[in-house]
Amino acid sequence: MPKIIIANWKLNPATLAEAEELAKASDVEGLVICPPYPFLKAAAGVVKKSQLGAQDLFWEDKGAYTGEVSGSQLKDLGVKFVIIGHSERRQNLGETDEMVAKKIAATLQDGLIPILCVGETRAQRDAGETKEVVARELKTGLSLIGNCLPASEAGKLKTPNQNKFGTGQVKNLVVAYEPIWAIGTGTPDTPENMLEMIQYIEGIMNELGIMGTVVIYGGSVTSKNAESFLRHNEIGGALVGGASLNGEEIKAIVKIAEKYN
């Protein structure tokens, strides 16, 4: 399976012209570009080799939901991937695991590929809670795509009506382990810890009966440190923030990934 590199532009750049320029400069096979919503159409018009992703979606398809964007609208623009449950949304907007679960179900329902973000804060890591946090984020986040949780816990979720998928049917799912303390700090996790986390995450996916998940790393990835992660077979790719705002830099990361395909 070829490695997947995802460019998460977050709330950048400032103008449409800059977005078009960055999309053009980044356009390479093996890359998924996730611009802010207002630039998606322009990016779709510019890129020839990269695929398109969105940074979020809402779980309903249409209706009275001011400010929201649906999976079907994104699909109509040519979007293939959707980042779900990024820690910046969890922290700044109070996005909960239950909301993440509804978004994952909606993403799959619309035939898009979810990139589920999980990861612990510095305080949680220091308290030895990393695995507990990641397990909860995965088990609740994926609870609406099958019978992942015991009925007693699943019953607490607000929209069990979206529970349309058996876990075995889910073939396309990306899990991004992004420790929050490593995001935008210039201090990435170590590849050794990432490998341990991948083993742990894969164990949970087995428990949930979800096969073929790709696990990728995110947090201060640059062209300087990318190889230390990507050279491992187990690490399926990278979710890149800051370094994706420079076309040369993101293309260099994709090139490193290709060496290990």
Closest Cα to residue 229, out of 239, 241, 238, 240?
238
Q: Which of 86, 88, 137, 249 is catalytic?
A: 86
The vertex-34 CA angle with 228 and 45, nearest 5°, equals 125
Contact track, ligand 13P, 141-180, x by CB under 6 A: -------------------------------------x--
Q: Which tokens hold the place of 9?
A: 């532009």
Nearer to ligand 13P, 8 or 143 (CB): 8
Q: Is residue 218 at the binding interface for ligand 13P, with CB under 6 A as the rule?
A: yes
Among 26, 107, 130, 220, the residue binding ligand 13P under the rule CB under 6 A is 220
Whole-number Å distance between alpha carbons of 154 and 221: 36
232 belongs to the catalytic site: no
Residue 67, annotated ligand binder? no
The vertex-132 CA angle with 234 and 240, nearest 5°, equals 45
Q: Where are the beta strands (DSSP E) in the chain?
A: 4-8, 31-34, 51-54, 79-84, 113-118, 174-177, 214-218, 237-240
Nearer to ligand 13P, 109 or 246 (CB): 246
Nearer to ligand 13P, 120 or 162 (CB): 120
Q: Which of 20, 88, 137, 178 is catalytic?
A: 178
Shortest reach from residue 154's CB to ligand 13P, in Å: 28
Whole-number Å distance between alpha carbons of 11 and 257: 25
Residue 9, annotated ligand binder? yes
Shortest reach from residue 34's CB to ligand 13P, in Å: 8
Q: Is residue 256 at the binding interface for ligand 13P, with CB under 6 A as the rule?
A: no
Shortest reach from residue 185's CB to ligand 13P, in Å: 7
Closest Cα to residue 149, out of 180, 157, 241?
157
* Segment interacting with ligand 13P (CB under 6 A) among 58-66, 135-143, 167-175, 219-227: 219-227
Q: DSSP labels for 148-200? A: -S-HHHHTTSS-GGG----GGG----EEEE--GGGTTSS-PPPHHHHHHHHHH
Among 3, 4, 5, 8, the residue binding ligand 13P under the rule CB under 6 A is 8
Per 3-state DSSP, what percentage of the chain is helix, strand, and coil (rounded to 5)? 45, 15, 40
Q: Which tokens hold the place of 115?
A: 């990139």
Residue 12, annotated ligand binder? no
Whole-number Å distance between alpha carbons of 225 and 243: 11
Q: Is residue 183 at the binding interface for ligand 13P, with CB under 6 A as the rule?
A: yes
86 belongs to the catalytic site: yes
Nearer to ligand 13P, 163 or 225 (CB): 225
Nearer to ligand 13P, 8 or 140 (CB): 8
Binding residues for substrate: 8-10, 184, 220, 241-242
Residues that bind ligand 13P (CB under 6 A): 8, 86, 178, 183-184, 218-221, 239-243
Q: Which residues are catalytic?
A: 86, 178
